[in-house]
Amino acid sequence: MITEDHQGHLRSARFNVGALIAICLFAGCGVPVPSTPTPDALSGQYNATGGGGALPAVQALTARFKQLHPGVSWLVTETGSDAAIKLAASHEVDVGFISRPLADSERARVTAVSIGFSGTAVVVNAENPVSNLTREQLRKIYSGEITSWAEVGGTDQPIRAFIREPNAATRTTFETYVFGGKATYGKTVTEMFEVEPTLGAIASFRGGIGIASIGSRTANDTRLRMISIDGVAPTQANLANGTYKIFRPLFLVYSPEAAQVRPGITAFLEFAKSPEGQRVAASAF
């Protein structure tokens, strides 16, 4: 039979054991205490800028790199390939991206990392029934020799041709394929600056035609339609297998001075060159 006094001793003993356990827990008596995670040495904000043709690939690469390194943040802007080279060379941005080959004079100013290819699509108003043009027909349209869509299988509608500004990578690629280099444009061809005004101009005229990068931005614009050239559709598959001929290479560019390249950018460039990085860039369009 347990007396009341004995029960009191038991309760006191249980309290003392509980207190001892609590003290051990707080004092670290052999019980592991969760450690503070080691900060990611790459954490920080980085900026990248460049040409619209490479933008989807760069957005995909930076997003995946952030998943791998949550402490990283990116500011990605579109300023054009020429600006990207100047800003990367002068260390005003961490990394640039371009959608054309480097000129000989630029190779000493920046180092390039390949991230695939982008195509230049020929785009018409969505109401235009023409779905294919040959290279020769394109040349005649832009040189002013063909002025009506009826001459190339469409309706009797005046052609309103638009072209990008001289330094745009889309224009350079287009001229290389259609004209074999230097182009001679007809008097009615209108020069447009930047992507959105160009697409808006084509959408404004039923007879509109112009150029834009192959990608989701162009494909998802219901006002417009990308057409085949020489019977080949402007798709990523046809770019990859080499049958679609109006394309340009994509590169990341950065300072060749190692001391000017931040560790996070070095790691990002290595990721972009890796098999995973190349897959991420290729699947972005």
- State whether 252 and 240 are in the same domain: no
The verdict on residue 30 lying in a domain is no
Average pLDDT over residues 268-275: 98
- State whether 195 and 105 are in the same domain: no
The CB density around residue 62, as the number of other CB atoms within 10 Å, is: 22
Which pLDDT does position 37 carry in this prediction? 58
| CA distance linking residue 178 with residue 157, whole number of Å | 23
Average pLDDT over residues 266-282: 96
The verdict on residue 236 lying in a domain is yes
pLDDT score of 108 more than 60:
yes
Which pLDDT does position 201 carry in this prediction? 97
Average pLDDT over residues 96-106: 94
Percent share of the chain, pLDDT over 90: 76
Contact (CB, 8 A) for 16 and 43 = no
Contact (CB, 8 A) for 4 and 12 = no
pLDDT score of 207 more than 60:
yes
- State whether 137 and 222 are in the same domain: yes
| CA distance linking residue 222 with residue 47, whole number of Å | 32
Banded model confidence at residue 88, pLDDT cuts 50, 70, 90: very high
- State whether 145 and 92 are in the same domain: no
Banded model confidence at residue 236, pLDDT cuts 50, 70, 90: confident
The verdict on residue 264 lying in a domain is yes
Q: How many folded domains does the chain comprise?
A: 2
Which pLDDT does position 206 carry in this prediction? 97
Sign of CA dihedral 41, 87, 213, 241: negative
Which pLDDT does position 250 carry in this prediction? 96
Banded model confidence at residue 283, pLDDT cuts 50, 70, 90: confident
Backbone phi, then psi, for 71, in 5-degree steps?
-80, 0
DSSP structural state of residue 259: G
pTM of the shown model: 0.75
Which pLDDT does position 259 carry in this prediction? 94
The CATH number of the domain where 84 resides is what?
A: 3.40.190.10
- State whether 106 and 124 are in the same domain: no
The dihedral formed by the CA atoms of 50, 52, 53 and 55, expressed in degrees to the nearest 10 = 70
Which domain does 219 fall in, by range?
Answer: 119-246
Angle at which helices 275-282 and 263-273 cross, to 10°: 80
Which pLDDT does position 34 carry in this prediction? 54
The verdict on residue 6 lying in a domain is no
For tokens 């998802």, what's the residue? 220
Higher pLDDT, 236 or 109: 109
Contact (CB, 8 A) for 148 and 141 = no
The verdict on residue 63 lying in a domain is yes
- State whether 107 and 152 are in the same domain: no
- State whether 236 and 264 are in the same domain: no
pLDDT score of 29 more than 50:
no
- State whether 208 and 261 are in the same domain: no
The verdict on residue 13 lying in a domain is no
The verdict on residue 267 lying in a domain is yes
What does the buried/exposed string (b/e) look like for 179-203 if buried means 16 or more CB atoms within 10 Å of the residue's CB? beeebeeeeebeebeebeebbeebb
Percent share of the chain, pLDDT over 70: 87
pLDDT tens digits along 58-82: 999 999 999 999 999 999 999 999 9
Computed over every residue of the chain, the mean pLDDT equals 88
Average pLDDT over residues 213-220: 88
- State whether 102 and 180 are in the same domain: no
Which pLDDT does position 36 carry in this prediction? 56
- State whether 211 and 240 are in the same domain: yes
pLDDT score of 32 more than 60:
no
The verdict on residue 22 lying in a domain is no
Give Cβ neighbours of residue 80 (< 8 Å, ≥ 6 apart): 50, 51, 52, 167, 168
- How, if at all, do strands 95-98 and 247-254 pair? antiparallel
- State whether 49 and 125 are in the same domain: no
- State whether 266 and 170 are in the same domain: no
Which pLDDT does position 40 carry in this prediction? 84
Half-sphere exposure at residue 160, Cβ-oriented, CA atoms within 13 angstroms? 16
Least confident of 62-66, 85-89, 127-131, 163-167: 163-167
Average pLDDT over residues 125-144: 98
